[in-house]
């Protein structure tokens, strides 16, 4: 819950949207900030749910679910699903938004009362893929990995091996394709540094896919899919289209993840117990620990370390170091100043050796700077160092 008065919340939200080039929400939120009818509508919601992003997501949700209203013409995302032309129709967006809200007042309040905004960013799989390759390469027996995604949302990142990837070297545009060449979902990632710095990018065999989330989303239901899509912003068609395609993959996959509802710290031991101890396990999370207090972050790490005593367990996370002081993130080799969105990809190996900062990455996986050299699986301990890989 924000302590700020609602008009202030709308104005701050508008500024953020303007900074991100999200014109639709910028205009709407500036219009809502001083509108007494709209402020009165939101004031009917439970106190902790009175937030601009929840109202915006609820409106977007009803439009995606098929509500007919002139407002739909202003949402590129809704137009893309309905097959209409993108681009603003040139009327009064704020007036249409307000009319929609007052017309659908009861449905909106019902949604706002119980929902929370939620995302599942499959772009982060551009970091997960090389990290899992590092882990798989370290297992001389090449056993299939079991995956456990903490804060899995709709479990879409557990389907990383259903997607296609293009890694593009920033300096000269050289590309490295990976993943499934026939994939319906394609992820692009700019590589800072050299493509040759990345580990091999094959698809490691996966034994089990599991997740835990406080409010898991069922990607196979219309309600779940529409809510997840509705929490994206209507101007960002690329991100929306990618998620839409990933949801289609989740609907038809032959390997749906097993997802458990609960708190990631409290439920972790019981869920790990369901996984055969002989199966090498990767416990990972991305942009989840920031929701925990630093103390709870430390409890999470302690719980993982305790579980790692009894089995082969790798711990991997992609989190903002600024937001997660309770995680054992090594400092970045980069001299750049870090923002709260800057994200570190960290691996705590199963053998108990110290954490490795594998990479720095964009919070949605748009770019990756790989730091750690991958172990070469063809070299056995005691053999001489391999010659540097071609770059």
Among the listed residues 88, 214, 356, 372, the single contact to ligand SAM using CB under 6 A: 214
Least Cβ distance, residue 77 to ligand SAM (angstroms): 18
Residue 363 in the binding site for ligand SAM (CB under 6 A): no
Residue 343 in the binding site for ligand SAM (CB under 6 A): no
Closest to 35 (Cα-Cα) out of 23, 43, 45, 46:
43
Kind of pairing, strands 367-370 and 356-361? antiparallel
Stretch that binds ligand SAM, among 120-128, 166-174, 196-204, 248-256 (CB under 6 A): 120-128
Least Cβ distance, residue 237 to ligand SAM (angstroms): 19
Sign of the torsion formed by the C-alpha atoms of 105, 110, 112 and 118 = negative
Closest to 304 (Cα-Cα) out of 316, 287, 321, 291:
316
Stretch that binds ligand SAM, among 34-42, 145-153, 171-179, 343-351 (CB under 6 A): 145-153
**What contacts 35, CB < 8 A, 6 or more positions away?**
98
Residue 153 in the binding site for ligand SAM (CB under 6 A): yes
Least Cβ distance, residue 87 to ligand SAM (angstroms): 29
Q: For helices 52-64 and 6-19, give the axis angle rounded to 10 degrees.
A: 70
For ligand SAM, the closer CB: 97 or 315: 315
**Strands of the chain, DSSP E:** 145-150, 164-169, 175-179, 186-192, 206-213, 258-261, 281-286, 313-319, 343-348, 356-361, 367-370
Least Cβ distance, residue 78 to ligand SAM (angstroms): 23
Among the listed residues 78, 264, 316, 342, the single contact to ligand SAM using CB under 6 A: 264
Least Cβ distance, residue 267 to ligand SAM (angstroms): 8
Q: What is the DSSP string of 19-68?
A: HTT-HHHHHHHHHHTT-HHHHHHHHTS-GGG--HHHHHHHHHHHHHTT--
Among the listed residues 96, 197, 213, 319, the single contact to ligand SAM using CB under 6 A: 213
- What gap in Å lies between CA 259 and CA 152, rounded to an integer? 8
Kind of pairing, strands 164-169 and 186-192? parallel
Least Cβ distance, residue 159 to ligand SAM (angstroms): 12
Residue 215 in the binding site for ligand SAM (CB under 6 A): yes
Residue 263 in the binding site for ligand SAM (CB under 6 A): yes
Residue 380 burial (CB < 10 Å; 0-12/13-18/19+)?
exposed
Q: Is 97 helix (H, G, I), strand (E, B) or coil?
A: helix
Interface size with ligand SAM, residues (CB under 6 A): 20
Q: Radius of gyration of the chain from Cα atoms?
A: 22
Closest to 345 (Cα-Cα) out of 368, 323, 326:
368
Residue 282 in the binding site for ligand SAM (CB under 6 A): no
State the number of CA atoms in the 13 A half-sphere of 73 facing the CB. 10
Residue 151 in the binding site for ligand SAM (CB under 6 A): yes
Among the listed residues 227, 287, 315, 367, the single contact to ligand SAM using CB under 6 A: 287
Stretch that binds ligand SAM, among 27-35, 63-71, 117-125, 330-338 (CB under 6 A): 117-125
Least Cβ distance, residue 149 to ligand SAM (angstroms): 6
- On whether the CB atoms of residues 340 and 323 are closer than 8 A, the answer is yes
Residue 299 in the binding site for ligand SAM (CB under 6 A): no
Stretch that binds ligand SAM, among 58-66, 75-83, 116-124, 172-180 (CB under 6 A): 116-124
Residue 118 in the binding site for ligand SAM (CB under 6 A): yes
Least Cβ distance, residue 205 to ligand SAM (angstroms): 22
Residue 293 in the binding site for ligand SAM (CB under 6 A): no
- On whether the CB atoms of residues 285 and 314 are closer than 8 A, the answer is no
Among the listed residues 124, 244, 347, 363, the single contact to ligand SAM using CB under 6 A: 124
Stretch that binds ligand SAM, among 112-120, 173-181, 268-276, 343-351 (CB under 6 A): 112-120
Q: Is 10 helix (H, G, I), strand (E, B) or coil?
A: helix
Q: List interacting residues with ligand SAM (CB under 6 A).
A: 118-121, 124, 151-153, 157, 212-215, 263-264, 286-288, 291-292
């Amino acid at each position: 819950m924000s302590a700020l008065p609602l008009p202030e919340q709308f104005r701050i939200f508008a500024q953020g949207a303007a900074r991100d080039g999200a014109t639709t929400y910028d205009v709407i939120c500036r219009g809502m900030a001083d509108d007494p009818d709209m402020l009165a509508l939101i004031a009917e919601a439970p106190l902790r749910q009175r937030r601009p992003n929840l109202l915006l997501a609820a409106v977007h949700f009803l439009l995606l679910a098929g509500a007919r209203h002139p407002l739909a013409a202003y949402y590129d995302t809704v137009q893309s699903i309905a097959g209409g032309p993108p681009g603003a129709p040139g009327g009064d967006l704020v007036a249409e938004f307000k009319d929609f809200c007052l017309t659908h007042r009861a449905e909106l309040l019902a949604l706002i009362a119980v929902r929370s905004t939620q995302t599942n960013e499959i772009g982060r799989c551009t970091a997960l893929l090389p990290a899992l390759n590092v882990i798989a390469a370290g297992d001389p027996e090449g056993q299939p990995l079991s995956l456990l995604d903490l804060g899995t949302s709709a479990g879409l990142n557990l389907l990383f091996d259903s997607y296609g990837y293009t890694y593009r070297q920033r300096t000269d545009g050289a590309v490295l394709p990976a993943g499934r060449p026939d994939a319906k979902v394609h992820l692009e990632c700019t590589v800072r540094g050299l493509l040759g710095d990345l580990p091999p990018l094959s698809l490691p065999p996966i034994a089990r896919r599991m997740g835990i989330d406080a409010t898991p989303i069922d990607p196979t239901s219309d309600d779940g899919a529409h809510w997840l899509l509705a929490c994206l912003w209507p101007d960002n068609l690329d991100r929306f289209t990618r998620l839409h395609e990933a949801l289609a993959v989740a609907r038809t996959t032959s390997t749906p993840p097993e997802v458990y509802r609960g708190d990631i710290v409290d439920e972790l031991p019981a869920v790990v117990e369901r996984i055969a101890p002989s199966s090498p396990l990767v416990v990972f999370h991305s942009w989840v620990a920031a929701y925990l207090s630093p103390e709870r972050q430390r409890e999470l790490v302690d719980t993982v370390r305790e579980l790692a005593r009894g089995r082969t367990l790798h711990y991997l996370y992609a989190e903002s170091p600024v937001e997660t002081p309770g995680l054992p993130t090594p400092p970045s080799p980069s001299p750049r100043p870090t923002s709260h969105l800057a994200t570190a990809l960290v691996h705590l190996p199963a053998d108990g050796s110290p954490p490795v900062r594998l990479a720095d990455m964009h919070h949605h996986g748009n770019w990756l700077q790989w730091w750690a050299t991958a172990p070469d699986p063809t070299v056995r301990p005691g053999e001489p160092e391999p010659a540097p890989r071609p770059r």
